[in-house]
Structure 1
């Protein structure tokens, strides 16, 4: 991953955005990593963001379509009866 200082980021945001388009960009503050700049697509991939259900179910003019609903990620809990 590329690394820049907060001062460099403040002086040249456009350059930082170009660098973040290729890979996540670490921004340091006083020598310590403080922030990470990345594309929205990369953020969505990392967070596992699911598509909007309306967009996922929208039909186009071709007719039928296949859609797999993502499995719910629910943890098992103990129940005290």
Structure 2
């Protein structure tokens, strides 16, 4: 669910905007046009996270962090040794 508030409404009742952000994004308008978006920290982290790298996943000490890793086989790949001369 999304909420839209004018900048005046937002300034007069930020508590209302913060509560509404728990249910979805809050669009703040200036002169009827969207200008800002207020998100809960959870929603922000979901949007901004890039996920975990393989190195971070392997370094995670939690037992529940174990996972299966079955990389796909490369097809059509020919290995050529490096020539260091």
Residue number in structure 1 paired with 2:35: 34
How far, CA to CA, are the matches of 2:68 and 2:41 in structure 1? 24
Instruction: Output aligned runs, 1:16-55, within 5 Å.
Output: 16-50=17-51
Unpaired runs of 5+ residues, structure 2, are 70-85
Length, aligned pairs only: 67
Instruction: Output aligned runs, 1:67-78, within 5 Å.
Output: none
- TM-score using structure 2 length: 0.59
Unpaired runs of 5+ residues, structure 1, are 69-81
- TM-score using structure 1 length: 0.62
Deviation at 1:67, TM superposition (A): 8.4
